[in-house]
Amino acid sequence: MNAALWRHAWRENWPLGTGMATLLLAYHLLFVWMVSLVDLGYLGTFLRFGLRLPLQNLLPIPLEQVTTSRGMVSLAWMDAVPVLLFSAWAVARGSDAVSGPLDRGELEWLLTAGVSRCGFLAAQIAVACAWSMLVVGAGWVGTLLGLWWIDLGETIRPGTFLPAVVNTWGVTFFLYAFTVLVSAAGRYRRYTVGVVGAVYAVQLILKVVARMSPWKWLAGLTFFGAFEPAWLVHQEHPWWECAKYTLPLVGLGAAFLLLAFWALQRRDVPAAL
């Protein structure tokens, strides 16, 4: 039965995981190509004189770093498309951890067949976490292929972007774990997605306000405040900074998963009909 659970979890994850990984790989590859088309001198002039200071504050790295090839490539990790993809993956898989099977009437039958609640959830989480690493890592592979294939006029080591990969995985894991917790306490998948989506929107708004206003302390109220992959690439000690930003996300995510196990153990599950 345990082997069947793991196979079931794998089948549930691989279609979406493969699709997201392919899209991220392709996008990061295309992003490197698009960087090669940009005149960085003109871009620097536009950003320096064409944007007001509050809008410049939205940039994750200083202007002098944006106008380098390495800086431009690093921005891919905070571009809207990759952020949307890994966020959608985390919410989609997290919402299907408990409330999805409950909504479809699958979980009741599995529990009747002798599957333990913790065993079921553990298989879901372990496979999803493994796939999250593959999905995020695919973006780095796209960057690697782009740097190998396209000449940007300067030598950029692909390993430079590994702290960005780790930080991106950290926020993906955090969002997935939070969604699993909401899923474990809910009955319907659509409600889980709605709650997580509302929290996500508020957190994103707080990050934007913190960047554009004098209220920088607002960044401490949002998990997006610890999501700085582009900034990490340009630090003197990137791995140390990566640990400072990523470990809190992983720690909170692990706490959410423990709470999800507790919530699933204590909740009522309708009897199979």
Give residue 52's pLDDT: 62
Q: Kindly state the DSSP code that residue 14 receives in the 8-state scheme.
A: H
Give the pLDDT of residue 92. Answer: 96
The pLDDT tens digits for 94-108 are: 999 999 988 888 887
Q: Are 240 and 77 in contact (CB under 8 A)?
A: no
> Can you give 202-243 as a three-state secondary structure string?
HHHHHHHHHHHCCCHHHHHHCHHHHCCHHHHHCCCCHHHHHH
Residue among 244, 63, 57 nearest 163 (CA)? 244
pLDDT of 197? 97
Asked if the model's pLDDT at residue 7 lies above 60, the reply is yes
pLDDT value of residue 224 = 95
DSSP 8-state assignment for residue 47 = H
pLDDT band at 2 (very low <50, low <70, confident <90, very high): confident
Contact predicate 200/88, CB 8 Å: no
Query: Mean pLDDT score of the chain, rounded to an integer?
Result: 90
Pair of tokens at residue 231:
């900034």
Q: Mean per-residue pLDDT for 23-43? A: 91
Q: How confident is the model at residue 128 (pLDDT cuts 50, 70, 90)?
A: very high
Contact criterion met (CB below 8 Å) for 112 and 272: yes
Confidence at residue 60, expressed as pLDDT on a 0 to 100 scale? 85
Each residue of 172-215: pLDDT tens digit? 999 999 999 999 998 899 999 999 999 999 999 999 999 888 88
For the chain, give every domain's residue range: 2-36+71-266
pLDDT at 54: 65
Are 237 and 212 in contact, with CB atoms under 8 Å apart?
no
pLDDT at 65: 87
Nearest-angstrom CA–CA distance, 125 and 130: 9
pLDDT tens figures, 44-97: 776 666 666 666 677 888 888 888 899 999 999 999 999 999 999 999 999 999
Q: How far apart are CA 226 and CA 242, in angstroms?
A: 9
- State the Cα angle at 164 between 10 and 203, rounded to 5°: 80
Alpha-carbon span 246 to 174, nearest angstrom? 10
